[in-house]
Copies of this chain bind each other. A is one copy, B any other.
Amino acid sequence: MQSKKLGDNKAITIYDIAREAGVSPATVSRVLTNRAKVSSEKRDSVLRAIEKYNFRPNTFARGLAETKSKTIGLLVADVRNPYYASMFVACEMAARMEGYSVILYNFLGDVELEEELLGRLLEQRVDAIILLGGHVDELVSNTGYVEAVNNVMATTPVLITGKLDGTQCSAVRIDAMKSMELVLEHLFSLHHEKIAVVGGRMDVLSTYEKILKLKQCLKEKGIEFDPALIGENGGHYDFEAGYRQMNSLLEKGIRLTAVIAINDFAALGVIRSIHEHGLKIPDDISLVSYDNTYMAEAVEPKLTSVDYNYEEYGKTLVRTAIKLVEGMGDVQRVQMVEPRLVVRESSAMCRRREEI
């Protein structure tokens, strides 16, 4: 038996295995990659040597010798946000199914870091890059970033979940219009007409599209759009945003019977605010949100929320990325993910209706 002292630093290589197994390094490589025929005796003896020495092929060496790394880079805003965490895990699982692995970087809202990490991904020779959040969410694409991405695209396909004008990136994204439509259909069916939107910024594509759709649906319904009902003041996507904006709505005495929170975080803030004002959900105000993270099930009342089917979304993203890598031509420039509404406790028939 081979001694395995700690600090026995000389790493085992394919040559050691070859010697031990009495074959050539090339043969060891063949059994490792399984890409060529090897007689079963030799294969077995190689396998035994590998086992014996606890050998692991060096990814660096392999990466250098091969053209593809079988790795996808995922650049996200912040995995601590369960939306991104769900997307990441979904992608990781999908990737593993296809024999790929994924490298994850968080840029944490830092614009410089976002570009820097894009570069690091390139250095790591990932086969494709998926961009989630940040600049690709913006309504007006950042020119500097567009240039950076275009440079990347010269060597590595980039897949985005939003849009990036001035690039040839393929996109897989949630149908934001549709998601608003689902929410409104639901609320209309419950006879809500005074509907507020809380959280979100208009310079974010998905939010912009939602508001656009809101206006459109309202118009079709013959309901007048009241700008006071949507938070113009540069809202964000967290608890605080939901809380503060809802407070302001309530304190201004603006009439409303339903609230659409831009995500589950904001919804939590909305809940808090509503309760602090002595009102009840859904009795006094109905609440619907987006993302359907685990919080939607865990809070009181359980949230009616729009779900994106993360597993499917991740799969589509990864498979599309792989198509791009392997040049299997037929990739649509934009693919849409169908959202669906999960109805829970936070939305109910509008009571005020009877009063009117």
A residues engaging B (CB < 8 A)? 4-6, 8-9, 11, 54, 56-64, 69, 78-80, 82, 85-86, 88-89, 92-93, 101, 103-106, 108, 119-120, 122-125, 151, 153-155, 168, 239, 265, 268-269, 271-272, 275, 294-295, 297-300
Specify which chain B residues have a CB less than 8 angstroms from the CB of A275 in the assembled complex: 300
Roughly how many angstroms separate A103 CA and B60 CA in the complex, as a whole number? Answer: 14
- Please tell me how many copies of the chain the complex holds: 2
Specify which chain B residues have a CB less than 8 angstroms from the CB of A122 in the assembled complex: 56
Give 23 A-B contacts (CB < 8 Å), ordered by A residue.
Answer: A4-B154, A5-B154, A6-B154, A8-B154, A8-B155, A54-B154, A56-B123, A59-B60, A60-B61, A60-B63, A60-B64, A63-B63, A64-B64, A82-B85, A85-B85, A89-B108, A92-B105, A92-B106, A239-B297, A265-B298, A271-B300, A272-B300, A275-B300
Measured between C-beta atoms, what is the minimum distance from A69 to chain B in Å?
7
Roughly how many angstroms separate A60 CA and B5 CA in the complex, as a whole number? Answer: 28
Whether the pair B80, A69 counts as a contact (CB closer than 8 A) is no
- With contacts A59-B125, A61-B64, A239-B297 known, is A104 near B101, CB below 8 A? no
Whether the pair B69, A60 counts as a contact (CB closer than 8 A) is yes
